[in-house]
Amino acid sequence: MPSLTRVPRTARKPTDDRRAEFETRVLAAVEDLLADGTPFTEIAVQKIAAASGSARSTFYRYFPDKSRLLIRMAELATTDLFAAAESWWSAEHTDQQTGVVLAMRAMIGGFRDHRYLLLALTEVGSYDREVGAYWRARVATFAELVRVRLETEQAAGRVGRQLDPRATALILTSMVERTISVAFAAETGVGEDALAESLGRAIWLVIYGDAP
């Protein structure tokens, strides 16, 4: 006779679905705790587990420590944030500054939605080797995408020969990442629309300002 309490194997959620659901709850819990002003380093694992409605043992099954937790949460939070910019860098640049401004607006919006987590990532990454290495690698991957595109534009004659693709990619990537972080870390008096417009203009002029 079938068990009345055991869930049939065919009715159980796939492992990937259960993990995704758990990670979504943890992300929301961590962001809520950070929004209260508590530094990430002071948030206990037990508190995160309780806020996400899970057991401490379940938490450690997925995250061996808080560094891995922050890295995974950052991966989830930055997926959409980087997607808009990566889409613009992969598209044809025939619309003057409009496309890059829209990409900046999407990035700024994505940062706003997860600002407490991403500001914590920046802070912890300054002294946690594992977290710092993750974020530098993520930014470097984006910078490499920019470098390749700049070289392509230069080879096609759409970018000035004096532009150094590798150095310019580093400058643009660092400028955007640092500018958005500063804008949300303190009151600057700069609105999101003005920030997007100015970043878009700066990026466009650096790339195409002295084009043939």
Query: For residue range 133-170, what is the model confidence (pLDDT) as tens digits?
Result: 999 999 999 999 999 999 999 999 999 999 999 999 99
Tokens 């995160």 belong to 48
- Which of the four pLDDT bands, split at 50, 70 and 90, describes residue 212? confident
pLDDT at 101: 93
Model confidence at 77: pLDDT above 80: yes
Q: Domain-by-domain residue ranges, the chain?
A: 11-63, 77-208
Identify the sign of the CA torsion 170, 146, 203, 76: negative
User: Percentage of residues in the chain with pLDDT exceeding 70?
Assistant: 92
Fold (CATH) for 77-208: Tetracycline Repressor; domain 2 (1.10.357)
User: The dihedral of CA 28, 33, 35, 40: what is its sign?
Assistant: negative
CA distance 110 to 131: 20
pTM: 0.83
For domain 11-63, give the fold: Arc Repressor Mutant, subunit A (1.10.10)
List the Cα angle 199/77/21 in 5-degree steps.
160
Termini Cα distance of the chain: 80
Alpha-carbon distance 165 to 5, whole Å? 62
